[in-house]
Amino acid sequence: MQLGFIIILIIAIFVAIFAIQNGAPVPLDLFLARYEVPLAVVMMACLILGAIVVLLLGTVRNVKRRSETKELKNKLKTLENDKVLFESNAKAMETEILNLKENNSVLSLKVKELETKQKEQSEIVLNSVKFEENELNLVNELNEESEELTSELIQNEDIFNQEENNKGTEYREYEENSKFEINNEKSEANTNK
């Protein structure tokens, strides 16, 4: 601001020197009228009009800057509030993440325990299935052996019955032969007598 004031002061000094050196009246045509005015007055009027235009433009620019500054300050406050909100949300999320990690680790342990139990149960089921298969195989083997023993027993009974029949037949034949021989001997003895 002081630099601008110094520049304006230097320009005003040059204009004043110019006006003093050019004090002669000059014709001025303004719309339809014609005036004779000293050159210094024309220069001063132009300078004042220029200063007013610059002042108006500067004021407009300053007003725009102030409104932009105000908007930017409001945005900055909003962003700072958002930042605080986001930071608190981030802290809450970090806490939640930590809690979730802890829960995840606990759940992982439970999953491992459940997997171990499942493996144990699978092994128990497998062992029971194998045991049942072994029992079934033993029962089948016992049934087969029982059937074999039953068929052998039946065969042995048949053989025994045949042998009994054969022995009975042989005994009868022997008995008959013995009777026949005894009868023959008796008849020979009777004949010899």
Interval 18-74: pLDDT, tens: 777 877 888 888 888 888 888 778 877 887 898 899 899 989 999 999 999 999 999
Please enumerate in sequence order all residues whose Cβ is within 8 A of that of 22, keeping only pairs 6 or more positions apart, or say none.
39, 40, 43
Give me the chain's average pLDDT, please. 85
**Cα–Cα distance, 176 to 53 (Å, whole number):** 171
User: Residue 108, SS3?
Assistant: helix
Token code pair at residue 50: 């220029």
Helix 2-21 to helix 39-192 angle, to the nearest 10 degrees?
150
Q: Which of 30-44, 88-102, 132-146 has the lowest mean pLDDT?
A: 30-44
Long-range CB pairs of 48-53, under 8 A, 24+ apart, other chains included: none
Give the pLDDT score at 193: 60
Report if residue 80 sits inside a domain: yes
Q: What are phi and psi of 22, to 5 degrees?
A: -120, 70
Report if residue 160 sits inside a domain: no
Report if residue 144 sits inside a domain: no
Q: What is the pTM of this model?
A: 0.37
Number of domains in the chain: 1
Name the residue among 19, 25, 21 with its Cα closest to residue 40: 19
pLDDT band at 4 (very low <50, low <70, confident <90, very high): confident
Report if residue 128 sits inside a domain: no
- Dmax over Cα atoms in the chain, in whole Å? 220
**Cα–Cα distance, 59 to 53 (Å, whole number):** 10
- Distance between alpha carbon 69 and the CA centroid of its chain, in Å? 47
Report if residue 165 sits inside a domain: no
Report if residue 62 sits inside a domain: yes
Q: Which domain holds residue 17?
A: 2-118
pLDDT band at 192 (very low <50, low <70, confident <90, very high): low
Q: Where are the alpha helices (DSSP H) in the chain?
A: 2-21, 39-192
Report if residue 76 sits inside a domain: yes
Report if residue 162 sits inside a domain: no
pLDDT tens track for 153-167: 888 888 877 877 777
User: Residue 25, SS3?
Assistant: strand
